Amino acid sequence: MKMQLLQVQDRNQWQNYHAIRRHVLFELRGQSDYDEMHPDEHRENHFPLLFICDDVPVGTVRLDIGPAHADPGTVRLVAIVPQYQRQGIGRAMMHALERLAADKGLTRLEVHAAPDAVAFYKKLGWLLVDMDRATPLLTKQIS
């Protein structure tokens, strides 16, 4: 199985990126306010990423890095197409994201996770920092 994490660049990649996020993170959760034009998608040091498995777009994530590439990097809007969930795709995507973050000089990541995703992150070695939020905060040291 060939897997790769690509920085979104061309029109087709943007369409796949938004389609996955809209469906998984909004439509399946009963929300309809997804904004493809949100300015955070194009800010400096924000990296929209598309995860490809055997030439099929199956996941998305965005890595946001603070000024001067300061730690921590923030992981945003992680989504895996439903039919590819629970097959190790999310784990592979997160490992690829950690390699990318390390290549960019980061040593720590944080994520504000959906409550139903906390167990997924904990299995990958993330530490729960603050559960008393609508989106619990987790962090992970990377090398």
Q: Which tens digit of pLDDT belongs to each residue from 55-98?
A: 999 999 999 998 876 789 999 999 999 999 999 999 999 999 99
Q: Are 71 and 108 in contact (CB under 8 A)?
A: yes
**Alpha-carbon span 19 to 60, nearest angstrom:** 10
pLDDT score recorded for residue 45: 94
Residue 127 has pLDDT above 90, yes or no: yes
Edge-to-edge strand ranges of the sheet holding 56-64: 3-7, 46-53, 56-64, 73-80, 108-112, 137-141, 127-130
Predicted model pTM: 0.93
Other residues' Cβ atoms within 10 Å of the Cβ of residue 98: 21
Banded model confidence at residue 141, pLDDT cuts 50, 70, 90: very high
Q: Coil, strand or helix: which one is 19?
A: helix
Report which residue type is found at 38. Answer: H
**Domain extents in the chain:** 3-141
pLDDT score recorded for residue 107: 95
- Each residue of 57-95: b (16+ CB within 10 Å) or e? bbbbbbbbbeeeeebbbebbbbbbbeebeeeebbebbbe
Residue 1 has pLDDT above 90, yes or no: no
Q: Are 20 and 59 in contact (CB under 8 A)?
A: yes
**Alpha-carbon span 126 to 95, nearest angstrom:** 12
**Alpha-carbon span 143 to 129, nearest angstrom:** 20
Q: Coil, strand or helix: which one is 3?
A: strand
Q: Coil, strand or helix: which one is 5?
A: strand
CATH 3.30.300.30 fits 3-141, yes or no: no
